[in-house]
Amino acid sequence: MFFILSKAIIPDLTSGDLYAMVTSIDREAPMAHKKQPKPVPQLTAAQFEDLFPDEDACRAYLVARRWPQGVRCPRCGSGHVYELKAIAFKWECMECAPGISYRFSHIAGTIFENTNKPLRDWYRVTHLMLASKKGMSALQIMRFMGFGSYKTAWMMCHKIRAALIEDVEKLGGIVEVDETYVGGKDKNRHWDKRSHITGRGDPSKTPVVGAVKRKGNVIARVVENVRRDTIEGFVNEMVSEKVSLLCTDNYKSYQRLHYRFPHGIVDHSAGQHVVGAIHTNTIEGFWSLIKRGVMGTFHKVSRKYLPLYVAEFQFRYNNRENADIFGAAISGC
Ligand SMILES: [Zn+2]
């Protein structure tokens, strides 16, 4: 059993009433929407109900996502496992426990282990987190799900965030690198370009450095500082040497990148923002998503947990064109 959301769920816009409606829209008016990419339909509430009518459907979905090539022992990785006839969703492995056998279930070694919440609740929370562009706070989740405790909702959200941490290949093509600062004093909470510049050096803010491939993936990391060695270490690790152009602003930590990369700089302090292909608008768009999410939805995010929130925003961004983002999330759980 393996569910893939196909293009069939996307309504046909090439003919019929919908086409007539779409083509009758005044194209001149919505300037702001012209550059917006086409949204990719994701799992709807109705599809969720169809996919997951009960706990067994959730279990089967997890098995298919975890082990697309067949069930493997979570302890030793062996594929020589035997399904227990008497108990559903239980297997045993002889390889890592000769003579006695090691028994495991579908949730062994996943974030769903040792919880008293049904998988269906976990799936619903995951679905909610992925469906909202700026994320959902544990408080919202608690109320929506009718959970008795905030701590439960908070733990679930953090475990899901940890499951969303993904390995991303080195970025190539045109790449933008930039840093931002999250947190800080209340009076400084103006998340616009102004705070972006004045944030440098504010000890109450946590720096995050990021690299984004245009029309591609983003990689963002919470860092200790934005010194040159830290920034260069991040760029060397995340950006391919075969990159065609690396864009940054003129902050001093970026100024030696041209030794290794074809490097273009925009001087924001001189009012420069776009010089031909050289700009950092894409990564700044990602920062504003995080900042609006963290400040608007999560209110106060401690430095300790910021990496988890950054992972959540990175995952949503990198799967923005993946109609099966939900399945991708579950396979990482
Ligand atoms: Zn084993």
DSSP structure string for 126-166: HHHHHHSTT---HHHHHHHHT-S-HHHHHHHHHHHHHHT--
What is the per-residue pLDDT across 77-108, written as a single tens digit (0 to 9) for each? 999 999 999 999 999 999 998 888 899 999 99
The alpha carbon of 208 and the centre of ligand 1 are apart by a number of angstroms equal to 40
Residue 31 reports pLDDT greater than 70: no
In a domain, 93, yes or no: no
Exposed/middle/buried for 14, CB within 10 Å: 0-12, 13-18, 19+? exposed
The alpha carbon of 33 and the centre of ligand 1 are apart by a number of angstroms equal to 53
The alpha carbon of 75 and the centre of ligand 1 are apart by a number of angstroms equal to 5
Q: How far apart are the first and last CA of the chain?
A: 18
Q: What is the largest CA-CA distance in the chain?
A: 74
In a domain, 135, yes or no: no
Cα radius of gyration (the chain): 23
In a domain, 260, yes or no: yes
Instruction: Determine the average pLDDT of the residues in 49-71.
Output: 96
The alpha carbon of 79 and the centre of ligand 1 are apart by a number of angstroms equal to 8
The alpha carbon of 77 and the centre of ligand 1 are apart by a number of angstroms equal to 6
The alpha carbon of 56 and the centre of ligand 1 are apart by a number of angstroms equal to 24
pLDDT of residue 281: 95
The CB-based long-range contact list for 313-316 (8 Å cut-off, 24+ gap) reads: 313/135, 313/220, 313/286, 313/289, 314/164, 314/166, 314/168, 314/218, 314/219, 314/220, 315/164, 315/165, 315/166, 316/130, 316/133, 316/135
The alpha carbon of 88 and the centre of ligand 1 are apart by a number of angstroms equal to 18
The alpha carbon of 221 and the centre of ligand 1 are apart by a number of angstroms equal to 35
pLDDT bin (cut points 50, 70, 90) of residue 18 is very low
The alpha carbon of 112 and the centre of ligand 1 are apart by a number of angstroms equal to 20
The alpha carbon of 98 and the centre of ligand 1 are apart by a number of angstroms equal to 9
In a domain, 317, yes or no: yes
The alpha carbon of 81 and the centre of ligand 1 are apart by a number of angstroms equal to 8
C-alpha 150 chain-centroid distance: 23
The alpha carbon of 97 and the centre of ligand 1 are apart by a number of angstroms equal to 7
pLDDT of residue 132: 87
Number of H helices and E strands in the chain, helices first, is 11, 8
What is the per-residue pLDDT across 107-137, written as a single tens digit (0 to 9) for each? 999 999 988 899 999 999 999 999 988 889 9
Average model confidence (pLDDT) across the chain:
84
The CATH number covering residue 260 comes to: 3.30.420.10
Pick from 196-200, 240-244, 251-255: least confident: 196-200
Nearest CA-CA partner of 312 in 191, 229, 250, 222: 222
What is the per-residue pLDDT across 147-180, written as a single tens digit (0 to 9) for each? 999 999 999 999 999 999 988 899 999 999 999 9
The alpha carbon of 157 and the centre of ligand 1 are apart by a number of angstroms equal to 30
Residue 8 reports pLDDT greater than 70: no
Domain count, the chain: 1
pLDDT of residue 200: 66
In what order do the strands lie in the sheet containing 102-105? 81-83, 90-93, 102-105
Pick from 54-63, 105-114, 185-194, 235-244: least confident: 185-194
Q: What is the domain extent for residue 205?
A: 174-331
Q: Which two tokens stand for residue 110?
A: 């996943």
In a domain, 273, yes or no: yes
The alpha carbon of 90 and the centre of ligand 1 are apart by a number of angstroms equal to 13
The alpha carbon of 165 and the centre of ligand 1 are apart by a number of angstroms equal to 25
The alpha carbon of 100 and the centre of ligand 1 are apart by a number of angstroms equal to 11
In a domain, 282, yes or no: yes
In a domain, 164, yes or no: no
pLDDT of residue 122: 98
The alpha carbon of 155 and the centre of ligand 1 are apart by a number of angstroms equal to 29
Helices (H), the chain: 16-23, 45-51, 55-66, 119-131, 138-145, 150-163, 193-198, 228-238, 281-292, 306-318, 325-331
In a domain, 264, yes or no: yes
pLDDT bin (cut points 50, 70, 90) of residue 294 is confident
Strand partners, 138: none
The alpha carbon of 101 and the centre of ligand 1 are apart by a number of angstroms equal to 8
The alpha carbon of 83 and the centre of ligand 1 are apart by a number of angstroms equal to 13
